[in-house]
Amino acid sequence: MYLLDTKYKTPLYQQLYQQLRSKILNGELSAQTKLPSSRRLSAELHISRNTVDTAYQQLLSEGYIVGKTRSGYYVETIHNTNFPDYVETPAAEPSAKPLTEKIKYDFQYGKLSPQTFPFSHWQRLTNECLRRDKEQLVNYSPFMGEPGLRREIVKYLRDYRDVKCTADQLLITSGTKHCLILACQLLKPLTSVIAMEDPGFAAAHFTFTNQGFQVSLIPLNHHGLNVKVLRASTAKAVYVTPSHQFPTGRIMPITRRLRLVEWAYEQDSFIIEDDYSCHLRYDVKPIPSLQGLAPEKVIYMGSFSKILSPSLRVAYMVLPKDLAQRMQQEAETLVCPVPLLIQKPLEQFLREGHFESHLRKMLRHFKKKHDTLLHALQETFGDTVSISGINAGLHLLLQLKQPALGSNDLVSRAGRSGIHIHANNLWVESEPGQAARVLLGFGAIALEDIPPAISLLHKVWLEY
């Protein structure tokens, strides 16, 4: 017995197909049972013969029935069909207010304000790409990335970061973690141990361990990573953030950089340089890259997340020549994960000089926020806190000198008052200790909201 309803949105052939399929799976139609002919069944159900044929063809294509010449359709032998039925459960009731509605002051690290993105330029360039690059848009992009975009990034890196490379050494990726995964694949034949800064970027630590590496945490001193301790380790690769150490914000001076390069040559090892906020120096010109000192020993990484938008998912890495050749050979059949509709507008954005003017605008914008935040912290908290990461990047690291609360307590109290901040979940360290530290990102918060937000933090932390 088949019940078909013309009032349903589901087509009649699909209703019939679903009912036949259900009867086969529950055993009501046993194996080798002959199905009625399409002429007979269509007459019984008062539907067209084409509707029955379409339902039968769907069952046939999925393997539920078989056709026999001049005989008709028979139910296929299907084993193990007694599986539990899917029970749809209602979705959980949403909370009274989404988290975003509860946040009044947002110090989330890595987040930017919509006012910072060049929407008009980007819309125009995207429309031009849709008109001009139709053939490319319906095909795959080469794994290393669009050649034009790679050439433009190479020009920028050469002029502004003193990076020494060709377009053949530069690879477009979908983010810093993607860069790290690719670096791990290249380093696996060379070492099982990767060193990194202590404290250091948690996502990098997670990626290295997830890729099967042992991670050696190397302590910092005033000048950055302690190369003497690095020499004593068995690591043949080290991950560093020399332009703005994460999370402390320390900047590695030239003397320490040279010692690190010396280690790389002596140990025949590699340095992974994450230049994540290289553009953002507020009082002096950015320090040139570490890669410029040792192009054959440094895997260099950068992205557009801090200047344009993290949602673009565009990063890049520069490989030493021998590693670049290996990458091209091993990834010959792969494609670039960054959509062409992102790569092409970005290429034109760089070529037309918009990135340089946008960068100057962002430096002025973020410097105002940085200075306002620093002044508010000093005025409100005085000598009860120490502040690191000054004059660079998009965050400050704040530590209470005599904390009565731990880092998680500080975050919880801030959250209950509508302030979103980070504690130590963004970094790893070998000895967390009792220090009450939080990270204040200022990319998203409005300039005028900074003073009242800091006053509120002081109230919920120290005036309880």
Longest CA–CA separation in the chain, Å:
94
Question: Which burial class, exposed, middle or buried, applies to 275 when counting CB atoms under 10 A from its CB (0-12, 13-18, 19+)?
Answer: buried
- Beta bridge mates, 463: none
Token couple for 377? 């912290």
Query: 3 and 44 in contact (C-beta within 8 Å)?
Result: no
Confidence of residue 278 (pLDDT cuts 50, 70, 90): confident
Distance CA 239, CA 393 (A): 18
Q: Tell which residue, 396, 425, 416, has the closest CA to residue 459.
A: 416
Token couple for 402? 């005599």
Least confident of 312-321, 332-341, 357-366, 429-438: 429-438
| Direct distance between the N- and C-terminal alpha carbons of the chain, in angstroms, rounded to an integer | 73
DSSP 208: H
* Average pLDDT of the segment spanning 333-346: 93
pLDDT exceeds 70 at position 99 = no
Query: 447 and 368 in contact (C-beta within 8 Å)?
Result: yes
Q: What is the DSSP string of 396-460?
A: EEEEESS-SS-HHHHHHHHHHTTEE-B-GGGEE-S--TT-EEEEEE-SSS-GGGHHHHHHHHHHH
Q: Give pLDDT tens digits for 426-458.
A: 999 988 766 788 999 999 999 999 999 999 999
Token couple for 135? 């053939």
**Domain at 101-110+357-462, CATH homologous superfamily:** Aspartate Aminotransferase, domain 1 (3.90.1150.10)
pTM of the model: 0.84
pLDDT exceeds 60 at position 164 = yes
Are β-strands 193-198 and 214-221 bridged in parallel, bridged antiparallel, or unpaired?
parallel
pLDDT for 79 equals: 79
Q: Peptide bond before 247: cis, by omega within 30 degrees of 0? A: yes
pLDDT exceeds 90 at position 145 = yes
pLDDT for 319 equals: 97
CATH 3.40.640.10 placement within the chain: 118-352
Q: Between 49-62 and 12-25, two packed helices, what is the crossing angle to 10 degrees? A: 40
pLDDT exceeds 60 at position 100 = no
Please report, as a single letter, which amino acid is at residue 373.
L
Least confident of 62-71, 276-285, 305-314, 379-388: 276-285
pLDDT for 1 equals: 75
Query: 102 and 418 in contact (C-beta within 8 Å)?
Result: yes
Confidence of residue 423 (pLDDT cuts 50, 70, 90): confident
Confidence of residue 273 (pLDDT cuts 50, 70, 90): very high
Query: Tell me, which fold does domain 118-352 have in CATH?
Result: Aspartate Aminotransferase; domain 2 (3.40.640)
- Beta bridge mates, 194: 215
DSSP 366: H
* CATH no., domain 12-75: 1.10.10.10
Strand order in the sheet with 436-441: 385-388, 395-400, 436-441
A 10 A CB-CB count for 129 gives: 21
pLDDT for 297 equals: 97
pLDDT for 18 equals: 94
For 262, the enclosing helix (H) or strand (E) is helix 254-266
CATH 1.10.10.10 placement within the chain: 12-75
What are the CA-CA distances from residue 151 to residues 80, 156, 350, 385 (Å)? 57, 9, 10, 46
pLDDT exceeds 60 at position 353 = yes
* Average pLDDT of the segment spanning 159-187: 95
CATH 3.90.1150.10 placement within the chain: 101-110+357-462
pLDDT for 81 equals: 65
